[in-house]
Amino acid sequence: MILRVATTLALAVAVSAGPVAADPRSEARAQVAFGIDVAQRGLWREALYRWERAVEIDPTYAAAYNDLAIGYEHEGQFDKARQAYEKALALDPNNLQIQQNFDLFREINDRTAAASEKP
Amino acid sequence: MTERPPHRKNPKNRRATVALLTALAAAGVACGTAYFEIPIETPIQPKLDVSAFQRVLIAGFVAGGSEDVDANQETVRLLRSQLRSKSSLRVIDADAMPLVEIAKGQSAAAGAGTTGADAQPTPLPDEIKNEKDLEAYERLFANTAYWKQIGEEYQNPLIVTGTVLFMPHSRQGMVQRDVEQYDSFGRRRVVPIRSFMERKGFVLAPRFVFIDGRTGATMYAERYREEILYNSQQNTPALSSYFELMDRLVPNFLSALSSQKIRGTRVLLQ
C-alpha cells in the first residue's frame, strides 16, 4: 500500500515537473539566477558561463543578454558586451535598466576611444 | 557590496520559484523582474604599447591662455606625480622644457636658413591666447630630429609633450536648477526652475603627444577639452580650477600608458 502511494506520488511529481523542466524560460531563468548568485561572490567566469547557457536555452530572454553583457564588460570583452546589450535592447526595447546599463557602458567606451588621434 | 533588494522575495527553493513563476505566467499574471545592483570594475587596456620603454620623460608643454597659472610647470608636475604612483614606468626628473622658447628658436633658425619668401615658416604668435595660436607650434612636435636628440640625451625614454591651453571663459544663458519647495501640508518637492544666469570659469584644452625617444617620431596623440563654470559672483582661484579640470582628464591620460580599472555599478536582471 505504502509502495503504491509512493509510486503514485513520484509519478505525479514527475508529471508536474515535466513541463517545468521542458520550459526553456524556466530553465534559462534558473541559470540566470545562479549566475547572479556567483557574480555577487565575485565568480565572474562561472557567472558568464551560466548566462551564456541561459541565452542558448532561451534566445528570447532579454534579462539574460543584459547580464551576459555585464559579464563581458567586467571581463573587458567590449565587442561581445556591445552585441549582448544590443540584443537585450532589441528583445526588450522599453527596459530602462538595460538602457541605463548600456548607456554607462557606452560612456566608458566613448570616453576612452574619442580623444585619440592618429600620429 | 551594494545590493538593492529585489522587487519580490528571493525564495530559498529555486525549483519552487520556477514552478510558481511558470504557474503565474500561465495564469497570465504579470510579475516584475527582480534586479540586483552589482559593482563592476571595467578593465581598460592601455592605448599604447609601452613595453619597449622603462622610463618616461614628461618633457614640457607649449602652454598659454592665462597668466594666472603656469600651465607648463603645473602640468609637468602633476603628470609626473601621477605616473610615479600609477605606472610602472620610471619617471625622469628634469626641468620642464620651455617649449615656447625652443619653438621660437627653431623657427628663427629655419627662417634664417631659407632665402625665398615662400619658404618662410608661419610666424609664431608672441602670446598664446587661443587654440588657433597653438596651431603654429605643431611643427615642433613633428621635428623628429629634435626629439631624437632629446631621446638620446635621456637614454631613449618615452617622451610626453604637447600643448596646454588654460583660459578664462564666460557664458550667459538660461540655466535649469532644482529648487526645494514645501506645500501647505509640509510636503517637500523639488521643482526645476529656469533662470537667466551669467557664469564664468575656465576651459582646459590639453593635447598630449607621445613620442618614441629612440626615433623622435610621434607614436600617439590625444586631445581633450573640459570646462568649468561658476556663478559670476563666485571668486574661484584659477589654480584650483586648473586642478579640478585636470582631475577629470588624468584618468584618460593614464589609460594611454597603463591598464586602468573603471569602477561603476550595473543592474543584473532575472
Torsion of CA B212, B215, B217, B223, to 10 degrees: 10
Helices (runs of H) and strands (runs of E) counted in chain A: 6, 1
Residue pairs spanning A and B at CB distance below 8 A: 96
Chain B contact for A8, CB < 8 A? no
The phi, psi pair for A55, rounded to 5°, reads -75, -25
- Report how far residue A111's alpha carbon sits from residue B251's, in angstroms, rounded to the nearest whole number: 10
Nearest chain A Cα distance for residue B163, angstroms: 14
- Quote the pLDDT of residue A81: 96
End-to-end CA separation in angstroms for chain B: 18
> What is the pLDDT, as a whole number, of residue A14?
40
Per-residue model confidence as pLDDT tens digits over A68-83? 999 999 998 999 999 9
- List the end-to-end C-alpha distance of chain A, in Å, as a whole number: 86
Which spans in chain B are helix H?
Answer: 14-26, 71-86, 99-113, 131-135, 138-141, 144-153, 238-257
Chain B residue closest in CA terms to A102: B266
- Containing A106, the helix (H) or strand (E) segment is helix A96-114
- Contact of B136 with chain A, judged by CB distance below 8 Å, is answered with no
Contact between chains at B43 and A76 (C-beta distance less than 8 A): yes
CB contact under 8 A, B40 and A112: no
**Overall average pLDDT of the A17-33 stretch:** 77
Supply the DSSP symbol for A87.
H
Question: Residue A97 and residue B40: Cβ atoms within 8 Å?
Answer: no
Q: Report in angstroms the alpha-carbon separations of B125 from B104, B107, B173.
A: 9, 11, 33
Write down the pLDDT at residue A73: 94
CB B147 within 8 A of CB B160: no
Subunit contact B268:A20, Cβ cutoff 8 A: no
The tens digit of pLDDT for each residue in A26-63 reads 999 999 999 999 999 999 999 999 999 999 999 999 99
Chain A closest-CA separation from residue B115 CA (Å):
30
**Residue A74: closest CA among A116, A43, A119, A117:** A43
| pLDDT tens string B10-52 | 444 444 444 443 443 343 334 467 899 999 998 888 888 899 9
Chain A residues in contact with B252 by the CB 8 A cut-off are 111-112, 115
What are the chain A neighbours of B258 within 8 Å (beta carbons)?
Answer: none
Contact A98/B22, CB-based, under 8 Å? no
- Inspect the interface and report whether the beta carbons of A117 and B222 lie closer than 8 Å: yes
Low-confidence ranges of chain B (pLDDT < 50): 1-31
For chain A, the average pLDDT equals 83
- Chain B interface includes A119 (CB < 8 A): yes
pLDDT score of A111? 65
DSSP secondary structure, B188-200, as one string: EEEEEEEEEEEEE
Q: Which of B5, A81, A116 is nearest to A104 (CA)?
A: A81
- Report d(CA B159, CA B216) in Å as an integer: 9
Q: pTM value?
A: 0.65
Contact B14 A32 (CB under 8 A): no
- For residue B61, give the C-alpha cell: 608643454
* pLDDT at position B10: 43
Q: Is B221 on the interface with A (CB under 8 A)?
A: yes
B267–A97: do the CB atoms touch at under 8 Å? yes
In chain B, the percentage of residues whose pLDDT exceeds 70 is: 84
Cβ count near B46 (within 10 Å) = 15
Residues 6+ apart with CB under 8 A from A54: A28, A29, A31, A32, A35, A61, A64, A67, A68
Q: What is A1-25 written as a DSSP string? A: -HHHHHHHHHHHHHHHHHHHHH-HH
Residues on chain A touching B40 (C-beta within 8 angstroms): 70, 73-74
ipTM of the complex: 0.80
